[in-house]
């Protein structure tokens, strides 16, 4: 078997399209010959650093996004339901605290990224399915508890997320995404022949598969494999 290709996924739980890419890539790391690296990053910093404008601030794009996410939720089998006030959830409240918390969880994890995967998924579920807060310590604690972290682990993560170390780590990840050329999320960076290849959005999986010499089996590869 050839060496596994390294794929980085830059994401922020405030982005619903990032959730779709996140679930697909987590499913496909069991199917494709890849090493998936989850990269929690602050989308607000990427948008500001790239000079991009969030689609939610454009009225027609916001209307389209609601309909689009309903279709995508069914297609990708991800429980997406936009919050009642999308601008407030995404832009007024934002995700800085949440992404510092995820970064802290990643710092605590000794090996692998199981905690990061589970905590991120619970935070996405809170904002993009249950229409609940992801900014307050109690909200972060509840998400981490549902993800399986112990009380002591949650307490440590909350302490860490306010540290300068974690602030700098999240800032560094954001700057790294910008250096790659990021202007929004999700961003998949595939390292091919020593060079990074960028794929933006949650609709580039067929192209990604082609570039790495793998097969796209749809959003639910386990079901597709069972049919073959």
Q: Which residue has the tokens 């700098």?
A: 168
Strands across the sheet containing 195-200: 34-40, 5-11, 187-192, 195-200
By DSSP bridging, strand 187-192 and strand 195-200 are antiparallel
Name residues whose C-beta falls within 8 Å of residue 178's C-beta, 6 or more positions apart in sequence.
45, 46, 49, 50
Dig out the tokens for 71 from the structure: 């279709």
Pick the catalytic residue from 2, 15, 152, 172: 15
Q: Is 15 an active-site residue?
A: yes
Q: Where are the alpha helices (DSSP H) in the chain?
A: 16-28, 43-50, 59-76, 86-87, 96-108, 114-128, 137-146, 151-160, 164-180, 205-212, 221-227
User: CA separation (Å) from 13 to 10, 94, 103, 150, 222?
Assistant: 10, 10, 12, 22, 25
Tell me if the bond preceding 186 is cis, omega within 30° of 0: yes
Active site residues: 15
């Amino acid at each position: 078997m050839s060496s596994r290709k390294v794929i980085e996924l830059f994401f922020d739980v405030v982005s619903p399209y990032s959730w779709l890419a996140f679930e697909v890539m987590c499913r496909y790391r069991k199917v494709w010959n890849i090493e998936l690296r989850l990269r929690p990053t602050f989308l607000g910093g990427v948008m500001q650093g790239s000079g991009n404008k969030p689609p939610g601030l454009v009225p027609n794009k916001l209307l389209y996004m609601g309909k689009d996410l309903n279709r995508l939720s069914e297609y990708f089998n991800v429980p997406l339901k936009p919050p009642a006030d999308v601008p407030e959830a995404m832009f007024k409240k934002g995700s800085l605290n949440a992404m510092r918390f995820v970064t802290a969880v990643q710092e605590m994890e000794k090996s692998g990224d199981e905690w990061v995967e589970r905590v991120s998924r619970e935070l996405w579920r809170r904002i993009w399915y249950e229409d609940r807060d992801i900014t307050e310590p109690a909200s972060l604690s509840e998400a981490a508890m549902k993800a399986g972290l112990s009380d002591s682990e949650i307490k440590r993560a909350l302490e860490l997320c306010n540290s300068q170390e974690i602030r700098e780590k999240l800032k560094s990840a954001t700057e790294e995404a910008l250096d790659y050329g990021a202007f929004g999320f999700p961003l998949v960076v595939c390292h091919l022949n020593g060079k990074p290849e960028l794929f933006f959005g949650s609709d580039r999986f067929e192209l990604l598969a082609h570039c790495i010499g793998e097969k796209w089996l749809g959003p639910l590869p386990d079901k597709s494999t069972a049919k073959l």
